[in-house]
Amino acid sequence: MRYITPVAVWLYLVVTTVGEVLVYYSGPGTFSVDIAVGVIAMINALLTALFLMNIRKEPPVIQYLMLAPLALIMVLILTMLFAFAQ
Amino acid sequence: MLATSITVGSVNILLTVAVHRGPGMTWRKIPMFSWFMLFTIIAMLFSFPSLLAALILLFSDRVLGTMFYSASAGGSILWDDLFWFFGHPEVYVVLLPAFGLIAEIFPVFTGRPLAEKNIILVCTGAIVVPLSYMVWSHHMFLTGITLSENEAFSVATILISLPFDVIILAFIKTLTKSTIRLTVPMLFCIGSVFLFIIGGITGVFLSSFVLDVVYNNTYFIVGHFHYVMVGAAIFGLIAGLYYYIPKMTGKLYHEKMANWHFVLSFIGFNVLYFPMFFLYDMPRRIYTYQSLPSWDLFNLISTVGAFVFAAAQILLLANIIYTLRRGKISPPNPWGATTLEWVPLFTGASHGAGYGAGSAAGGEEHHVGHQTTRPIWLSAGIAISFLGLALLPYSWGIGVFVLGLAINAYAIVGWMSDDIHERFAMPWGLGESWPFSAIPKMRLGMWIFLSTDVIVFGAILGAYLYIRSFTTVWPAVGSIHEIPLGLANTIVLLTSGLTAYLALESIKEGNQRNMIIWISTTFVLGATFLAVKGAEWYNLYFGKGFSWSTNLAGSTYYFTVGLHAAHVTVGLLLMAYLIRKAMMGGYTKENHVGVENFALYWAFVDIVWVFVFPLFYLL
Ligand SMILES: [Cu+2]
């Protein structure tokens, strides 16, 4: 029964992806929809990394190795997005 | 291409330091030069992918006609950000190896251990390297970015100068109260530190965005920059060259010539670059300058210095030729150094003559069995195909491109067949020591590669978000892309993620048949995904007349999805290979690192799509 976890994760991913689209139809182009869709996508990416790449079973150094570029890229993206904001 | 190869090269060096240390070489005993190379690699690891992203976007703009950088809303700032995110860490990539050499050479010629070794390591590894990624906007102070960003990056830049102060003070402390032997390597080391101090102090001027109003784009910058990159870095590297010439050639260089080389270089360098600080009102990047009394003299002095400095380098070249031809035989340890590489045992063994007690004995046999010309063919093929891509605007460019692809195919197919027939006797060792214990090194390599790919995709998705947020007119969501079709295709890809995972689980249980079935399913799903993608593109391009040069929505969509599709294509090739090897019984319960790596890669491709789908179809 070791396949339960990956199948459950897969099911969750499929359902929430359909959910993303439904959320979108509930109010296309509104800010709150953008945020909701973004949050779903981030959770899905995290679940994939945790359960399909099994990063949770890797030693901490690998986890940091993947977190570091994520943090740096966030710095880059935020700097770009707020370059002209007041 | 350079950026790709450097990224892969970093993975290689990082693995070597982490996994291939000789027995007994614990982290605490690693020589300073190796430490600094490690730091260099970490500074490269996440910066070059950003350059790679910047360059493929540039290529796409130039050759394919997308318009990332030509966008009226801040396209040039996009280039600045992506380029300088690489550009600042790059300074340390050039500088740190030189500092590592200085840290090796100072103790030898001062006769005392390096002062504050641990503090130097902490300053470099824990402050300089991570912070190097967070100061890049100081190259963009005057581009019109907000005041608060200017302030933040100004502070970060001043911060990063502090650990360098500590490092330099530690170097100087090593020099004090010691009897210095002024050999040529030592002279170049001291020269390097001296020039770095000048380069560093002028750098602190430039970290202020207020002073930048005056200094920006002037010869002051040129002076500062060369004191660091040429003065500090190149002098340190030349020191290393002289220091290791006896090791590399077994002979001694010509002492007098080398001394003159230093004297002329040092004088020439300063005569060349110091006057530039007085030219702080002369714009740089010009092919000629106005004849003003305040500029003429300094430019003249500078030119004289340039000739002296350049001519001095002939002495280095001559000295190397002299050493190779007629140099006196060097004693095993001409400097009286105490580090491992000078232990007489290793002298003359050109192979694996690095650090690490065990490597010399085991070195030869270790490398037997993977001598192959495939990588050379592959590099040549990649070079030629990329050249072809760059030449695409000419009608014959496509021929060059196809030729390159053919060579690539020849190399890859050959390489794979070598591997299928186990022609490489590569030991699949585990990482021996903390913190990489118990990770097969190929998997470690895959993780490192993926961590760099995070930057590539992150930079490109960031570019999309940036463009999106500054472009006022954007096609309404749903007007371009078929959401239901995109959703269906996303589910196909997600399912392939599951089947790839199941393939790995099967082989972990030793079930080869199931593994082949699951991988084949994954292959079919991946191919379906690509086919649907192709159909979508066909409809968009021919049906709706929506191309990558239609507008920014087109540019970003085709580029990002295309890059993802390229990753999927690579995944399909890998799978074809895995299936072939598995059919020949190449994977077992114990040995399935290939499947494992593929599963990681494929899950990563999934994750990227998890973001691409909503970003392009729903937002
Ligand atoms: Cu910089």
DSSP for B264-309, written as a single string:
HHHHHHHHHHGGGGGGTTSBSS-SS----HHHHHHHHHHHHHHHHH
- Lowest-pLDDT range, A11-15, B14-18, B312-316? B14-18
Beta strands in A1-86 (DSSP E): none
Q: What is the mean pLDDT of residues B543-559?
A: 87
Smallest Cα distance from A29 to chain B, Å: 6
Per DSSP, the three-state class of B135 is coil
> A36 lies in which domain range?
4-83
pTM of the model: 0.87
Distance B83 CA to ligand 1 centre (A): 11
| Contacting B residues, span 430-469, partner chain A, CB-CB under 8 Å | 435-439, 444, 447-448, 450-452, 454-455, 458-459, 461-463, 465-466, 469
CATH of B440-618, one of 1.10.3720.10, 3.20.20.120, 1.20.120.80, 3.40.50.1110: 1.20.120.80
pLDDT at B25: 67
The encoded tokens of residue B24 equal 């007994």
Q: Is A81 on the interface with B (CB under 8 A)?
A: yes
10 Å CB burial of residue B287 (0-12, 13-18, 19+) is: exposed
Number of domains in chain A: 1
ipTM: 0.95
pLDDT at B356: 39
The answer on pLDDT for B367 being more than 80 is: no
The answer on pLDDT for B123 being more than 60 is: yes
Share of chain B above pLDDT 90, in %: 51
The answer on pLDDT for B323 being more than 90 is: yes
At A41, the pLDDT band (50, 70, 90 cuts) reads: very high
Helix, strand, coil proportions of chain B in percent (round to 5)?
Answer: 75, 0, 25
Angstrom distance (rounded) from CA A66 to CA B223: 38
Interface contact flag, B477 A52, Cβ < 8 Å: no
Domain residue ranges of chain B, discontinuous segments joined by +: 215-338, 373-423, 440-618
At B610, the pLDDT band (50, 70, 90 cuts) reads: very high
Residues B471-516: tens digit of each pLDDT: 878 887 777 888 889 999 999 999 999 999 999 999 988 888 999 9
Residues B28-76: tens digit of each pLDDT: 677 888 889 889 988 988 999 999 999 999 989 888 888 888 876 678 8
Q: Is B611 on the interface with A (CB under 8 A)?
A: yes
Share of chain B above pLDDT 70, in %: 89
| Contacting A residues, span 41-80, partner chain B, CB-CB under 8 Å | 41, 44-45, 48-49, 52-53, 58-62, 65-66, 68-70, 72-73, 75-77, 79-80
* Residue B481 · residue B513 · CB < 8 Å: no
Angstrom distance (rounded) from CA A85 to CA B148: 10
Residues B189-237: tens digit of each pLDDT: 999 999 999 999 999 999 998 898 899 899 999 999 999 999 999 999 9
| Contacting B residues, span 115-154, partner chain A, CB-CB under 8 Å | 133-134, 137, 144-146, 149
pLDDT at B432: 44
